[in-house]
Amino acid sequence: MAKFYSVGVGAGDGSYITLGALRALEKSDIIAVPSKKSGNKSTALNIISKEFDTSKKELLELEFSMSSDAKERELSREKSAERIIAALKAGKNVAMITLGDVSIYSTCSYVHGAVKNAGFEIEIIPGITSFCAAADKARISLCEGGESVAIIPSAKGADLEKYTADFDTVIIMKAGADTDGIYEALKRRGMESNAIVSSRVGMENELIEPLREGKSYGYFTTVIIKKKGF
């Protein structure tokens, strides 16, 4: 019976691809490539193309709508799951690729559930998360000894004062829209020098630097705040 691989390809650099990811791609007939909009260039596909000859495989582009309309999002997920299940029913192994790790803010759960309900075997291949890649590139540790870490999706509506009081490290995943607010909140606690911004880690135009006031950062921007500094 055909098998479904859900593959984390890491945070941006081809060198973050694991041996397990390569082997899953090798064993697959079809590489399923999620995108936010049909025709969009996929970063995950770009990453694996550096280390794997995708021309030998059939590519299946899946649209996962990011519409504000919940119905539309649901419909696009259902449609994508159906297309994967149809391929599996035709006896083809499918590998769906995802940036970073599959368990961290990916939208794969729905597909996993649908594929499982259709009776097919699923294997999830772990990937390098963006925050580990950013910390390692910046040569900082996220936690040591008795330290604790909070990971939050964005700074929007988040009580940063509380997080930075309660935790040694705070990771804000999609921080791009709120960097000035983060800077202000940290300044109130005298911690404005304790934050590092990273975006496009391992990719072209990679940026890893101390958080600055009044600067615009992109969508893939993660902020790492360390209570004790660097």
Binding residues vs a second copy (CB under 8 A): 8, 10-11, 13-20, 22-23, 51, 101-109, 112, 116, 122, 124-129, 132-133, 135-137, 139-154, 167
> Rounded distance, CA 31 to CA 24, Å?
10
Q: What is the DSSP letter of 177?
A: G
Residue 138 Cβ vs a second copy, minimum distance, rounded to whole Å: 9
Residue 106, token pair as written in the block:
């990916």
Q: Which residue, 71 or 190, has its beta carbon nearer to a second copy?
A: 71
Residue 153 Cβ vs a second copy, minimum distance, rounded to whole Å: 5
Residue 39 Cβ vs a second copy, minimum distance, rounded to whole Å: 25
> Rounded distance, CA 102 to CA 127, Å?
7
Q: Which residue, 166 or 190, has its beta carbon nearer to a second copy?
A: 166
Q: Which residue, 166 or 213, has its beta carbon nearer to a second copy?
A: 166
Q: Strand, helix or coil at 95?
A: strand
Residue 174 Cβ vs a second copy, minimum distance, rounded to whole Å: 10
Specify the DSSP element, H or E, that contains 79.
helix 70-89
Tell me the longest C-alpha to C-alpha distance in the chain. 60
Q: Which residue, 167 or 183, has its beta carbon nearer to a second copy?
A: 167
Residue 51, token pair as written in the block:
């280390």
Residue with tokens 């404005």: 192
Closest of 23, 46, 14 to residue 33, by C-alpha: 46
Residue with tokens 């709508």: 65
Q: Which residue, 61 or 136, has its beta carbon nearer to a second copy?
A: 136
> Rounded distance, CA 40 to CA 34, Å?
9
> Rounded distance, CA 103 to CA 116, Å?
16
Name residue 145's amino acid: G
Q: Which residue, 38 or 141, has its beta carbon nearer to a second copy?
A: 141
Residue 146 Cβ vs a second copy, minimum distance, rounded to whole Å: 5
Residue 34 Cβ vs a second copy, minimum distance, rounded to whole Å: 14
> Rounded distance, CA 163 to CA 166, Å?
5
